[in-house]
Structure 1
Amino acid sequence: MSTVSAQAIFDAHTARFGAADAFDTPDFTRDDPVYRAAKEACLRLGFIDADAECLAQAWEARSARLGFDAGAWPEEPVDFGLAPWPRSLAFAPCPRALGLYAVLPDAEWVGRMARAGVPTVQLRFKSDDTRAVEREVRAAIEAVAGTPALLFINDHWQAAIEAGAYGVHLGQEDIGVANLSAIRAAGLRLGLSTHGYAEMRRADALSPSYIAMGAVFPTTLKRMATAPQGTARLRAYARLLRAYPLVAIGGIDFERLPAVLQSGVGSVAVVRALVAAASPEAEVARFRLALQGKPGQETGPLGHLA
């Protein structure tokens, strides 16, 4: 195996993602020169340690698989240890392109946006009152009745199963506590949030229905453990996870929409862009028009393609 310099990897990534600040060279526990150069360069480019480690391993695997060191950024699922499709324990599929995906605070908003033509809606209702959660989930399901909107319930998987929701969306912190087997057995679709390579690999191991990637831009709605990913990284993530329906989320408004769509994702999740708009229905119409015919916007329940 030929060696590769950290500078070569740094240059390859900088050309795609932009420069980053300098850093102190860390201590490495592996001797492979490709791994070491990649880990060093990825840390220098601002990736958190878990993502830099994931990328370094992928670069090492790619070098071993191809027998040489090409300068291209690793994007093949096999180099990241992602299993091939189909998979026996995959969650139920959802449409390849979920389109405009509205994340909403209550059932009233869910119904309003579903009637406005939003194809995918998520109830993100925050409460520690179990009965209040159950009422809101049932109300949201009733609110989308008679519309083509697909309803995902954020976090409250038990209530979603009991009420017969279309799907559940979970964050990384919820994966370890939710009963994923029960969600799968009930036939609900599962969406998972990710914020970088390590979390994407963790999500892929669970074979969800779709994967959300963010935050693409800065957002004030929640405290993020990672810096905004940006559209260049989003493009790389979309190529790696091309077997999945993909949702971009985080700080996306209408002005930023074209750059996000260039990544090839099939769905864009928005929060403030709708609920804080002077005319949410008019904003829905603008988004839907812009989303029509864009790359990744195939119609129909295609599910996983790889």
Structure 2
Amino acid sequence: MTSVSAQAIFDAHTARFGVASGDTPTDTAYTRDDPVYRAAKVACLRLGFIGIDAECLAQAWAARSQRLGFDATAWPDDPADFGLRPWPREGAFAPCPQALGLYAVLPDATWVGRMARAGVQTLQLRFKSDDAAAVTREVRAAARAVAGTPALLFINDHWQAAIDAGAYGVHLGQEDIDAADLGAIRNAGLRLGLSTHGYAEMLRADALSPSYIAMGAVFPTTLKRMATAPQGTARLQAYARLLRDYPLVAIGGIDLEKLPEVLRSGVGSVAVVRALVAAASPEAEVARFQQAMAR
């Protein structure tokens, strides 16, 4: 059954997800004997999902099959099949709007203030420095810059400075989760956003019940060296179906031309970096993005 089912899954979803660029591993490691699980893991590896994501999908496929019977054409997207707890939840981080709109990721407080005045709904200060005093100054300046505007300010990484400055929230990458005091962030009432790059990281993020989940990189980007290949909009759509209970942010290489395809995935927010900071007229670009997102 395993080989037949694996081929059936692969054939049903190749047009959507494509095929792995390299050779499919022949020494696949299995954690279960269930034939649907094994078939799904082989198929997902052939479709280009990395090992830890193929494992998550295979277990979800087995869970779905136990509930509804095996169907090679039905991609698993029920939160319960992935072990996600239902909402509402105790101990969750403070909520934020379901649709965070245009989300600008910016290098300093000057840019934060400029984009807040331009009407950007959600802002993230991504200030890189090892100088603690400089970080404190920049985070406080960013908090002052959004005062009197409706903009929501998230601080990347610097969670203690964000708490001290009274920012709206904190954004953390996967590599920063263990180093941050999540309890302090939650107790201070700040929102928490987490970056993810596939199923395994999404499940890890969900276990923390954050305020929103960011997914990417959707398209190739030169701004940050990525450990995973671009996800593409087909995967983004599958991710959005699974994480339907969260505010979702798509990020990575998104410009006006690609925006409609990204929005069709079901995400409520699109994060941009270069599309604004490298634009000849950032304020005009903000207006174009917002008009396109309002359609």
Structure 2 CA distance for partners of 1:70 and 1:20, relative to 1, 3 Å: closer
Gaps of 5+ in 2: none
Note the 1:11-160 alignment, pairs <5 A. 11-21=11-21, 22-29=23-30, 30-69=32-71, 71-160=73-162
**1:24 CA displacement:** 3.5
After TM superposition, the structure 1 stretch with the greater mean CA deviation from structure 2, 67-76 or 282-291, is 67-76
Which 4+ residue blocks in structure 1 deviate beyond 2 angstroms?
A: 1-4, 18-22, 24-30, 67-71
**1:17 CA displacement:** 1.7
**Letter of the 1:172 counterpart:** Q
After TM superposition, the structure 1 stretch with the greater mean CA deviation from structure 2, 10-19 or 117-126, is 10-19
**1:3 CA displacement:** 8.9
Instruction: Confirm whether residue 269 of structure 1 aligns to residue 268 of structure 2.
Output: no
Alignment-derived partner of residue 260 in structure 2:
258
| Cα distance per residue 1:81-112 (max 9 Å; x no partner) | 00001101110000010000000000000000
Gaps of 5+ in 1: 294-306
- Aligned identity (percent) is 83
Q: 2:188, 2:25 → 1: CA distance?
A: 49
Q: How many residues are paired up?
A: 293
Q: 2:46, 2:277 → 1: CA distance?
A: 38
Q: 2:119, 2:218 → 1: CA distance?
A: 24
Query: 3-state SS of the aligned residue for 1:268?
Result: strand
**Letter of the 1:13 counterpart:** H
Q: Give yes or no for contact 2:20–2:45 (8 Å, CA) kept in 1.
A: no
Q: Give yes or no for contact 1:10–1:42 (8 Å, CA) kept in 2.
A: yes
**1:2 CA displacement:** 9.9
Q: 2:25, 2:157 → 1: CA distance?
A: 39
Q: Structure 1 length as normaliser, TM-score?
A: 0.93
Q: Structure 2 length as normaliser, TM-score?
A: 0.96
**Letter of the 1:19 counterpart:** V
CA RMSD of aligned residues (A): 1.4
Higher relative contact order (CA 8 A, sep 6+): 1
Q: 2:70, 2:266 → 1: CA distance?
A: 29
**Letter of the 1:138 counterpart:** R
| Cα distance per residue 1:247-266 (max 9 Å; x no partner) | 00000011110110110100
Query: 3-state SS of the aligned residue for 1:39?
Result: helix
Q: Give yes or no for contact 2:255–2:275 (8 Å, CA) kept in 1.
A: yes
Q: Give yes or no for contact 1:3–1:34 (8 Å, CA) kept in 2.
A: no
Query: 3-state SS of the aligned residue for 2:129?
Result: coil
**Letter of the 2:133 counterpart:** R
Q: 2:266, 2:168 → 1: CA distance?
A: 25
**1:18 CA displacement:** 2.4
**Letter of the 2:24 counterpart:** F
Q: Give yes or no for contact 2:20–2:49 (8 Å, CA) kept in 1.
A: no
